[in-house]
Structure 1
């Protein structure tokens, strides 16, 4: 069983694993990564990874106390959600009530009627974010080159690889990613599961150069779509190899673009109601070192990521501009 989305019935996965099915990376890991509370406790309190100051709350009163403890400004998130759903930045105590309501009503599965616990964490002096794709396989754990990214409302819009980071940041990022995945794989082994697959480890790089653990996606990561241009084996190919018990080494996870070059991806988000029809592809892909992947999604209702533009450039700015040109030139009609 290979989960490909965040909102999954982890109890069903546990039953499947107990019946002898292979769950990727494991039923236990899927359950941990769906729950920000369990994940943060493991990462910070068990593995000793650096994180922002945080508290958990199950009531509005506990949230008020937690926010006072971590200080303002702070971020409030539901423990069971993703992609910015139900998340708020709170600048003062006056905003706590609204943040609690947003966490309950804006999160994924809000219609189930239960009260969601939340995490409140200090708003760190963020410089930028990184994703480190980390692969657990029969050969052990390896990491890919770090990926830079741009988000809108907590959702991926652009990514590029390798991210321009100094040696100290790179070493911290790789160590944190490796340690986080090693800890999660240990949880899988404790339940008799492999823990094989690709993990997207999300990190914060602060203005002072320190690196903090944020979250883990136990599957190929949206920012990792850039690997379809940057690596000989994309994150999807690496995931498949790991799942099938094949060894994945540093050589398999290495960049394949020229030395000094950068690859970029640009999400193509379509708005409307109906079927998306793509055209003008020849002009969109006229520039060298560009490519396009159109997803097999039949319809869009509201807004939906329907494709991704890919490009290779001499540096991050060049690659991002090329990928952006593909996205801007492509024509998408919703019928």
Structure 2
């Protein structure tokens, strides 16, 4: 079998966005050749990948054709043609995360049932096929409605506090998740290779933008008790084991006001809640993903320094050719590192980059990150 460091060894990645771009930056260190496919000819990976295929990752034939000369195939986003992905696995290709994992994750209803069947704690929920069925549960409001498929980055999620909110509800198959009286939202990123070796990153705390349900700040380490930390790590490790998954898994969780830890959602790929690992940990989430899918020893996840990640989102009211205001001023702050994703066009709340601020103490990093958010504006 061909070695991962052979000159003709190729890793195929379905998707060419910012996660793939940061994956490439780590792949270069090991001379791993990443070949990307994305339907956007100007996707963030288009200029830098070993090979770039401009085609649709939802197209059956395109995915099959793309995968035929790749030694390992992975994804940058879950929304790919599952049937083609399965066929590549049947043909003997190394396909990680496995198609069975993507099938479980991409439908939030299937995902919720998976948690329940495997005794993984998650908020109470109901499954509905359409808007009309929601009224059957009027005695149990409030809910968070989540479309079963197609939602991402805050899209496909709607708060339903009373029956009067039904006019805002999606008329689509959905999960009705009971509102959780939570104190914090946290995340644990965990990896597993083919040998069954599992490694987790330290728990992080996420702060969301309430308007668009996107992560605005991420704090590492999370300010939680040792008992909650141990519980969150145990849940993340049990989840990846139950999936039998090879690759990297982000497990997003709620910490309730009475001290329980409940799974919100999972993502089987590098994740927004792991960007800080580039600066803050011995091994980044991107290197760990490569190690996992290539069945290499998993790297140390030890935290080197506290850090805060702030997403650079497109400003409301601006759409067009991107312009970054205040970025150079932010770069003058010691310990601030900017990552620009290479997207030529901005629009309101689009993820255009992120900044990680590090410091010897977490509060110092928080202060730097809040300063960055004040002075950096993504406009057109």
Q: TM-score range by the shorter chain?
A: 0.7 to 0.9
Structure 2 residue 301 is matched with structure 1 residue 253: yes
Q: 2:120 aligns with which of 37, 43, 49?
A: 49
**Corresponding position: 1:131 with 2:208:** no
CA distance in 1, matches of 2:219, 2:347: 28
Partner of 1:226: 276
Residue 176 (structure 2) aligns with: 120
1:294 to 340, 356, 359: 340
| 1-structure distance, mates of 2:122, 2:378 | 41
Residue 316 of structure 1 corresponds to 362
Cα pair 2:312 2:378 within 8 Å, conserved: no
Is this contact kept in 1: 2:346–2:379, CA < 8 A?
no
* TM-score, normalised with respect to structure 2: 0.74
Q: Tell me which moved more, 76-85 or 129-138.
A: 76-85
Q: 1:281 to 1:182 in 2, by over 3 A?
A: same
Q: Deviations over 1:274-302 (max 9, x none)?
A: 33244654432222222111112222244
Matches within 5 A, 1:167-316: 167-185=226-244, 195-248=245-298, 252-257=300-305, 262-271=306-315, 272-278=318-324, 281-316=327-362
Q: Verify: 1:32 aligned to 2:104, yes or no.
A: yes
Which residue in the other structure is 1:108 paired with?
Answer: none
| CA–CA distance in structure 2, aligned partners of residues 282 and 175 of structure 1 | 41
Cα 1:59–1:286, aligned 2, differ >3 Å: closer, same or farther?
closer
The answer for the alignment partner of 2:152 in structure 1 is 82
- SS at structure 2 position matched to 1:16: helix
Aligned to 2:16: none
What is the count of residue pairs matched by the alignment?
302
User: Which residue is 2:200 aligned to?
Assistant: 143
What CA distance in whole angstroms lies between the structure 2 residues aligned with 1:39 and 1:159? 24
Give the direction of change, closer, same or farther, for the CA distance of 1:311–1:301 in structure 2 (3 Å limit): closer
Greater CA drift, 320-329 or 203-212? 320-329
Quote the residue 1:17 is aligned against.
Answer: 89
Structure 2: distance between partners of 1:39 and 1:315:
37
Assess, with a 3 A threshold, how the Cα gap between structure 1 residues 238 and 213 changes in structure 2: closer, same or farther.
same
- 1:79 deviation in Å? 0.9
CA shift in 2, pair 1:26/1:66, >3 Å: farther
Gaps of at least 5 residues in structure 1 are 105-115, 186-194
Q: Give the match for residue 56 of structure 2.
A: none
| Structure 2 unmatched runs, 5+ | 1-72
Aligned in 2, Cα 1:320/1:8: closer, same or farther, shift over 3 Å? farther
Q: How much does 1:263 deviate?
A: 0.6
**Deviations 1:4-27, CA, capped at 9 Å, x for gaps:** 124333233222222233222111
